Structure 1
């Protein structure tokens, strides 16, 4: 009977679990598509390119939606079993409440394991592919990378300042070239136009300085070609993020940066999140189960509302902890795990209290 009970409860969880994942996937993918609308307009992305970007974003979104779907399934199934008096019948036949809910907690562990494997093996690759595609798109029309009235770093140790940006035209350009030792070479231009593989500067001036900072060369130019390699250069686009690396790769990257004396608080938080996020399904189910038992008599609508409330609180604690950890206010490990710890303690205490009744 016990094995039949386990199979029955897990089978009951499957449909609402998949439905919950599907619903939230649509919401999250719609939000991702909305973020790409600006790219579609500016870069003329084809439907195939947009579809590929959305496909690559799917694994990371699935990891986020798994706890949402499972909490909703748990609340709905517990509500139905209670309203149909199946829980009462099982308890009358000698099956304890803790044994009835055990398959639900086991399911939470199973889904958490699946999320961890997905987050460790597939998500880093798809995130890297997403970034690679974004870079390829930006390489074709790099002007949107340039922000007006701000210094930004280019390749070959060059720094740029632009007054105004109009599509592929930069107006009032200032360039500091630090590729040589000593004082930087300074280039100014009235405008710069992107020409597929390089910037063409117009109506400008080049100045070079001695080691003591005195001007020793000055020349005007009508046109000057400036090569700007927009390859996957880390100096231009930045190093791989923690989300693009497996846990092992991320650990080694953080270790090297720490040895160089850099602040790695934010990276450490993201590293620990690689473990805490996949396990969110289990810890949220620890709270969802007693909550489902408590509010089951109020109907399916209340079950869905409680599910949304649980996930909302989890993400508030997650976001709050992440911010505190990145700023160094809280230890990175605690910042990444605080929401799971809180949910685990409250859920366990609640379950013990219900089981004693």
Structure 2
């Protein structure tokens, strides 16, 4: 490693560590402050609180690490250019790309490390944090219950319940589309389905009262095979006694998509794709059999046109209903595939962002170095906002099946990579000094780029011309 390479890399260490520590600390304090009220007053030991804080760090680091990379590159290259060090290197025959090359190698290494972190460390820490929150939530079911997951609820009298809700509002303690499985009575099963549920706790937060609205109760018993009892209700209060009396560590639980490694996500995707294929084949075969059986025809000896002409309205209605149901099931499986694929592509995309930020930050800083720390902060905020807004928006569109997951997760990287490459190509020809390349130069450049389409349409030249002086 040459002296120049060591010098350039060492120049990035200080800004990177400062930016990484500062941004991570701020987001970490914000995350802890949001949970502090829920953790306080529960009698939790310092070991549990420390474990909670430690497990809260990885998902924050996944956000702040690429941010720190961009801030470090912007600050270092703008500082080197403003102090004319890059100009001096160019005067000595060292091209700017020679200075950028080792930084790009470090960026590639950081991208690889970030991919390993996102694929291995982050899913496991998210899963352990989710289980810990669920265990702590045994003293406050609002924390324990998770959306669209079968949650286990145990009471002080050893009654066992399974509860699932489509949505949970922790602030209002409101659940929607509630399903409760009562397993507390051996030999009997009770299933309660309700449109909405309202949770309320006693003052000591030991007992939970769940008020269900607009629901139905189904009771079955082993002593009466094939029989069940149904009861509709407008309101019912279901008590859970002693759900918040102790912290019980229950070990592994089900994993959400953000708690899975890439291998586990790929297995889920393959499983959903297999379900799609089997569903399509099953529905096709069932439709053909239903038509043949209804008409009493030989499937091999009757063509499709004759079969369709002989169908009556009842058969058509039944087939339409079956096809509609199959279509809904197919769409659910397809959305599940998109949802899992989004998480896979997100792990790769965020890791690759480290490399993109190195390329974009260095090229931008060399072109506009004189804005100082203000330029670094403003540029970082704008790039961060665009990147994360694009990532979040793309994720939501992909989860709804409107955009392919690969395009949704990689679109912010592709958009930022284009100006990064353009600036890098012209970087050697547009080295600014401490007397230029600041805010005024940036504003003039933006106006020039935005005004070019209008200049070409009007056919006029709006560039500045020398003004004649008397005697000149």
Match of 2:124 in 1: 125
The residue aligned with 1:176 is 217
Q: Unmatched 5+ residue regions in structure 1?
A: 199-229
Q: Report the counterpart of residue 102 of structure 2 in structure 1.
A: 103
1:16, 1:72 within 8 Å by CA — same for their partners in 2? yes
Match in the other structure for 1:71:
70
Deviation, structure 1 residue 43:
5.0
Q: Is contact 1:242-1:250 (8 Å) kept?
A: yes
Deviations 1:201-236 (A, max 9, x none): xxxxxxxxxxxxxxxxxxxxxxxxxxxxx96897xx
Deviation at 1:19, TM superposition (A): 0.8
Residues 149-158 or 21-30, more deviating: 149-158
Instruction: For 1:186 and 1:177, locate their aligned partners in 2 and report how far apart those are by CA, in whole Å.
Output: 7
Offset at 1:302? 1.3
Q: CA deviation digits over 1:8-62, x for unaligned, max 9?
A: 1111101110111101111111221133134225856555433311211212221
User: Where in structure 2 are the equivalents of 1:228-307 lying within 5 Å?
Assistant: 239-261=254-276, 262=333, 263-264=335-336, 265-307=338-380
Indicate how the Cα distance of structure 1 residues 80 and 182 shifts in structure 2: closer, same or farther if over 3 A, else same. Answer: farther
Q: Tell me, yes or no, if the aligned pair for 1:284 and 1:310 is still in contact at 8 Å.
A: no
2:405 counterpart (328, 332, 349): 332
Matched, 1:36 2:69: no
Deviates more, 1:172-181 or 1:282-291: 172-181
Judge which range, 127-136 or 42-51, deviates more. Answer: 42-51
1:54 aligned onto 2:69: no
Partners of 2:219 and 2:413 lie apart in 1 by: 48
**In structure 2, the residue corresponding to 1:158 is in which secondary structure?**
strand
What TM-score do you get using the length of structure 2 for normalisation?
0.62
Query: In structure 1, what is the Cα distance between the partners aligned to 2:227 and 2:363?
Result: 68
Q: How far, CA to CA, are the matches of 2:115 and 2:345 in structure 1?
A: 12
Distance 2:10 2:105 in 1: 13
1:158 aligns with 2:191: yes
SS at match of 1:152: strand
CA shift in 2, pair 1:6/1:246, >3 Å: same
Deviations 1:87-145 (A, max 9, x none): 11111110111111122222211211111111122111111110111121223443664
Closer, same or farther: CA 325–171 of 1 in aligned 2, 3 Å = closer
Matches of 2:220 and 2:134, distance apart in 1:
24
- Paired residues in the alignment total 321
Relative to 1, partners in 2 of residues 1:149 and 1:29: Cα closer, same or farther, differing over 3 Å?
Answer: closer
Q: How many angstroms does 1:70 deviate by? A: 0.8
Which range is displaced more, 148-157 or 239-248?
148-157
Deviation at 1:251, TM superposition (A): 0.7
Q: Which residue of 2 aligns with 1:355?
A: 428
What secondary structure is seen at the aligned counterpart in 2 of 1:278?
helix
Instruction: Give the gaps of 5 or more residues in structure 2.
Output: 146-167, 184-189, 202-206, 277-332, 431-472
What is the RMSD of the two structures over their aligned residues, measured on CA atoms? 2.9
Give me the whole-angstrom Cα distance separating, in 1, the residues matched to 2:209 and 2:242: 15
Please tell me whether Structure 1 or Structure 2 has the larger radius of gyration of its CA atoms.
2
CA contact (8 A) 1:43 1:141 kept: no
Aligned partners of 1:163 and 1:171 also within 8 Å: yes
- Following the alignment from structure 2 to structure 1, what is the Cα–Cα distance between the partners of residues 66 and 174? 41
Partner of 1:213: none
**Contact map agreement 1:283 1:343 (CA 8 A) in 2:** yes
Equivalent residues of 1:288, 1:310 under 8 A apart: no
Q: Is the 8 A contact 2:24 2:60 kept in 1?
A: yes
Q: Cα 1:149–1:286, aligned 2, differ >3 Å: closer, same or farther?
A: closer
CA distance in 2, matches of 1:233, 1:190: 32
Q: With the length of structure 1 as denominator, give the TM-score of the two structures.
A: 0.80
Structure 1 pair 53/297, CA: closer, same or farther in 2 (3 Å)?
same
Gap change, CA 1:154 and 1:18, over 3 Å in 2: farther
Q: How has the CA–CA distance of structure 1 residues 143 and 126 changed in structure 2, closer, same or farther, with 3 Å as cutoff?
A: closer
Quick check: 1:284–1:311 contact (8 Å CA) kept in 2? no
Secondary structure of the 2:369 match is helix
